[in-house]
């Protein structure tokens, strides 16, 4: 009964997060085109790479954010409000310290890198400085908001994210409008308005937490044991997040040094599509992750393994379902969306979407290992492997000035990392490799091989216009859905879908 209730809660939370994501995706696709046209390719690239200088130091916060989420979900099983308040207050103190450290690093090392190493036209240096300072403030606000968001996720109140997203979408539409009519420097205005939106949204999240969760009322506590416990967990997570920084912002800086802001704009477009697609899988994982941690805390490993496999498989299906139209007709989609997409954007997008598919398989494994708390060897192995992307990419560019090479290096290392994550999940949580192969890898490989055959065959034999784009896109979704149903789902999963559809049909008929 408990697992059935948890499964229903996961399904409900996932649906709420999906309504949120679909709405935000529509707004994002609309606004990104207007923003690119308003800023121009060069300024759009400058915003992406300059904001990335500040984000480069976020690995400090990301490590602690993972620790906060893990300890909140773990402590929820004890149902002790005092323990939860200590966890919250301690994490908020640590995040405040991290926020000030990142500000200092950004205003020293980051500022030096901005002026001395980055390729930015002299006439846009002043605007770049505005972007830089606003990005620092956005980062500060986001860091101190992490404990509040962790509380919402641990309580599995996913509807909150859906409702607040309506406000966020409205504010982003206002940004587009003000950007369109502004007579001032549009890059400066864009940076300032994004800061304002960030402040408003973070205030709403923290206000909700304070109103609904007693443990999020901050009290000054210096619990040495809790600080040490969370700090040790975060210190090992630091390696993995340092690697993530190297793969994301490090590669962004590398592209800027070798090719300038125009290529950063191409990467920015590809990353935006990737983020929108990947967020669909992240929504499912956000709903499942607290249950993975709680099931480990209660020693219900069988249920935990089931969640890991279902989370990985369905996350892949979601990413693949949305990625296939972009993979089949990349150039035509980008032209229709952006009119004049930056050079290399199509190549970047194809590789990055494949990286996202592999990541969708490994993210539940990450959370499972984190739930065990034994992450030292895991983070060192995975972190060092992913950190190799940066030097290998640098050497590849020295041999051949092809910006796509950096993403090929990232793809290769991501695939290797999945193998090692599986080994650590087996060691830390007793996950059977045979179970993972049967329940996850076998069905996703079948779906990935068979689904594109018909859409791609049709696309290469059709005239490339808006009609063919729509027809091929619909066929991609139809083909993938059918193959997932026939080859990707188990008998019990197919039966559940049929029963839900019958139930929905009855409600509509009535």
Q: How many residues does the chain have?
A: 510
* Closest by Cα among 176, 155, 170 to 200: 170
- Token reading at 465: 């216009």
Determine phi and psi for 458, rounding to 5 degrees. -65, -45
Give residue 314's pLDDT.
87
Tokens matching residue 338: 């952006």
Cα separation of 496 and 107, whole Å? 55
**pLDDT for 202:** 83
Mutual angle of helices 261-297 and 251-259, in 10-degree steps:
170
What the block records as the tokens of 234 is: 């975060």
The pLDDT averaged over each successive group of 10 residues in the chain (510 residues) is 50 57 67 73 73 59 62 66 76 81 83 78 84 85 79 70 74 81 82 87 83 76 72 65 71 83 82 75 70 79 88 88 87 80 87 90 84 77 82 89 89 90 89 91 93 87 78 87 90 77 59
Between the two ends of the chain, the Cα-to-Cα distance in Å is 30
Give, in order, the Cα–Cα distances in Å from 367 to each of 71, 90, 277, 430: 12, 22, 20, 14
| In 67-179, beta strands by DSSP E | none
The residue with tokens 């003000």 is 178
**Alpha-carbon separation of residue 409 from 12, 188, 389 (angstroms):** 38, 34, 6
Q: Residue 322's CB: how many other CB atoms inside 10 A?
A: 22
How confident is the model at residue 167, as a pLDDT? 81
3-state secondary structure of 134: helix
Q: Three-state SS across 441-467?
A: HHHHHHHHHHCCHHHHHHHHCCCCCHH
Which pLDDT value is given to residue 75? 66
In this structure, which long-range contacts are made by residues 464-473, counting pairs with CB atoms below 8 Å and at least 24 apart in sequence? 464/329, 464/332, 466/336, 468/332, 469/329, 469/332, 469/333, 469/336, 472/325, 472/328, 472/329, 473/325, 473/329
pLDDT of residue 501: 67
Cβ atoms 330, 353 nearer than 8 A: no
From residue 240, how far is each of 275, 377, 507 by CA, in Å? Answer: 19, 11, 48
Query: Is 49:251 a contact under the CB 8 Å cutoff?
Result: no
Q: Name which of 158, 413, 406, 410 is nearest 282 in CA terms.
A: 158
Contact status, residue 394 vs residue 247, Cβ threshold 8 Å: no
CA distances from 10 to 6, 244, 265, 286 (A): 6, 28, 37, 9
Burial of 306 (0-12, 13-18, 19+ CB in 10 A): middle
Selection from 369, 389, 363 nearest residue 285 by Cα:
363
Distance CA 355, CA 238 (A): 22
Q: Which residues contact 500 (CB under 8 A, 6 or more apart)?
A: none
Q: Could you tell me which residues come within 8 angstroms of residue 261 by beta carbon, excluding any fewer than 6 positions away? A: 41, 42, 45, 46, 49, 119, 120
Cα 115 to Cα 234: distance, rounded to the nearest angstrom: 32
- Neighbour-count burial of 220, counting CB atoms closer than 10 A to its CB (0-12 exposed, 13-18 middle, 19+ buried): exposed
Torsional class of 27: left (φ above 0), alpha (ψ -120 to 50), beta (otherwise): alpha
Rounded CA separation 416/404 (Å): 19
Q: What's the burial of 395, exposed, middle or buried (CB within 10 Å: 0-12/13-18/19+)?
A: exposed
């Amino acid at each position: 009964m408990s697992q059935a209730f948890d499964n229903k809660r996961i399904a409900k939370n996932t649906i709420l997060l999906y309504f949120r994501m679909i709405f935000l995706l529509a707004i994002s696709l609309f606004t990104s085109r207007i923003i690119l046209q308003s800023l121009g390719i060069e300024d759009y690239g400058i915003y992406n790479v300059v904001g990335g200088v500040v984000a480069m130091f976020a690995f400090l916060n990301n490590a602690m954010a993972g620790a906060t989420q893990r300890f909140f979900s773990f402590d929820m099983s004890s149902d002790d409000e005092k323990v939860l308040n200590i966890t919250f207050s301690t994490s908020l103190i640590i995040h405040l310290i991290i926020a000030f450290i990142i500000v200092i690093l950004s205003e020293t090392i980051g500022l030096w890198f901005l002026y001395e190493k980055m390729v930015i036209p002299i006439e846009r240096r002043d605007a770049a400085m505005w972007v830089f300072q606003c990005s620092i403030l956005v980062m500060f606000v986001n860091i101190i908001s992490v404990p509040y968001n962790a509380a919402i996720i641990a309580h599995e109140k996913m509807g909150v994210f859906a409702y607040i997203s309506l406000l966020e979408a409205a504010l982003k539409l206002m940004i587009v409008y003000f950007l369109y009519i502004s007579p001032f420097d549009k890059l400066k205005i864009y940076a300032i308005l994004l800061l304002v939106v960030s402040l408003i949204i973070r205030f709403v999240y923290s206000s909700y937490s304070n109103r609904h969760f007693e443990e999020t009322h901050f009290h000054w506590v210096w619990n040495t044991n809790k600080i040490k416990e969370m700090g040790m967990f975060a210190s090992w997570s630091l390696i993995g997040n340092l690697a993530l920084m190297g793969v994301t912002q490090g590669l962004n800086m590398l592209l800027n040094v070798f090719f300038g802001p125009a290529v950063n704009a191409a990467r920015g477009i590809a990353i935006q599509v990737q983020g929108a697609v990947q967020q669909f899988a992240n929504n499912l994982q956000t709903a499942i992750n607290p249950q993975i941690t709680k099931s480990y805390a209660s020693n219900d490993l069988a249920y935990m393994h089931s969640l890991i496999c279902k989370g990985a498989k369905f996350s892949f299906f979601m990413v693949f379902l949305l990625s296939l139209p972009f993979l089949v007709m990349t150039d035509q989609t980008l032209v229709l969306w952006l009119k004049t997409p930056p050079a290399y954007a199509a190549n970047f997008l194809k590789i990055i979407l494949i990286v996202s598919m592999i990541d969708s398989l490994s993210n539940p494994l990450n959370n499972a290992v984190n739930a065990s708390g034994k992450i030292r060897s895991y983070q060192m192995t995975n972190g060092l492997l992913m950190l190799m992307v940066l030097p290998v990419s640098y050497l590849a560019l020295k041999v051949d000035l092809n910006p796509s090479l950096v993403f090929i290096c990232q793809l290769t290392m991501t695939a290797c990392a999945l193998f090692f994550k599986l080994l650590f999940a087996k060691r830390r949580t007793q996950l059977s490799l045979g179970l993972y192969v049967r329940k996850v890898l076998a069905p996703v490989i079948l779906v990935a091989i068979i689904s594109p055959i018909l859409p791609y065959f049709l696309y290469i034999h059709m005239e490339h216009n808006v009609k063919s784009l729509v027809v091929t896109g619909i066929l991609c979704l139809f083909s993938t859905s059918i193959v997932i149903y026939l080859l990707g789902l188990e008998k019990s999963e197919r039966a559940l879908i049929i029963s839900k559809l019958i139930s929905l049909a009855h409600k509509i008929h009535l």
